[in-house]
Amino acid sequence: MIEVSDFFHRIVALSGLAPLIAVPAIRRALARANIEPGTVGPGDLPRVLPSIETCLLVYLKPTEVAARLEALRKLGER
């Protein structure tokens, strides 16, 4: 089993996708940005957001993706 951080779970929750889809999708987005699911943190979000956006656009409408990305940006600012 791949170890994931609590922050990874927050990203999954804010993605707007069902966990069954979100977990592997967010893992792939992190892999494209060379970030490990077990160590991802707020400082990694600027680097991974473009990959997450690409992923979310497969499943969500662009307006919903924009809202989800904004929520993720705010998560990174906390």
What is the mean pLDDT of each successive set of 10 residues along the chain, which is 78 residues long? 85 96 96 94 94 96 97 89
Q: What is the pLDDT of residue 1?
A: 60
Domain count, the chain: 1
**Per-residue confidence (pLDDT) for residue 51, from 0 to 100:** 96
Look at residue 1 and tell me if it is in a domain. no
DSSP class of 60: S
**Domain containing residue 57:** 6-77
Q: Residue 48 is inside which H or E element, if any?
A: helix 45-59
* Residues 6, 13: Cα–Cα separation, whole Å: 11
**Residue 16 falls inside a structural domain:** yes
